[in-house]
A = this chain, B = another copy of it.
Amino acid sequence: MRVHHDRFEVRTHGQGLYEITDQLEAKIDRCRVRNGTVTVFIQHTSCSLLIMENADPTARRDLEEFFDRLVPEDADYFTHGSEGSDDMPSHIRMALTRTSETIPIVDDRMQLGTWQGIFLFEHRRAPHMRKVSVTIIGE
């Protein structure tokens, strides 16, 4: 049994879901853990993590639209907004989704369902470099 830490960055250019499944698979291949878990951890509070349907892009667009409507930018009670109108909604959309996920690694691969992809969910409009931390534990 051993622990292997790694990291990578994702360049985002506006709100939406960015698939990171392939980057994660590459990290797992490289560390040669055959059986265990991978913990994906987002080091930010204005973007988040989500395992979502990866086949049909309309499903992702509808999901993004749902969050836009559920957490509008112009709520009159927001007081935190020093970074703009997408500042506070980004923290709330993060709170409603995920910061960490732990996924089984079985025989060298993540044991995802047929339609599952792993996504970074960007909630800010401006371009950002986002840090994704990857911890693999296993044998």
Shortest distance between the CB of A139 and any CB in chain B (Å): 6
Copies in the complex: 3
B137 touches A37 (CB 8 A): yes
Q: Are B113 and A36 in contact (CB under 8 A)?
A: no
- A59 adjacent to B104 (CB under 8 Å): no
Among A42, A59, A63, A103, the most chain B Cβ lie within 10 Å of the Cβ of A59
CB-nearest residue of chain B to A50: B95
- CB-CB contacts below 8 Å: A1-46 with B: 1-3, 5, 35-37, 39, 41-46
* Interface positions of A (Cβ within 8 A of B): 1-3, 5, 35-37, 39, 41-46, 50-53, 56, 58-59, 61-63, 65-66, 69-71, 75, 77-80, 82, 88, 91-92, 94-104, 106, 111-113, 115-116, 131, 133, 135, 137-139
Cross-chain pairs A/B with CB under 8 angstroms, 27 sampled: A3-B139, A5-B106, A37-B39, A37-B135, A39-B104, A41-B103, A42-B113, A43-B112, A43-B116, A44-B113, A45-B113, A45-B115, A46-B53, A50-B95, A52-B94, A52-B95, A53-B91, A56-B82, A58-B80, A59-B88, A61-B80, A62-B91, A62-B92, A63-B91, A66-B92, A69-B77, A111-B133
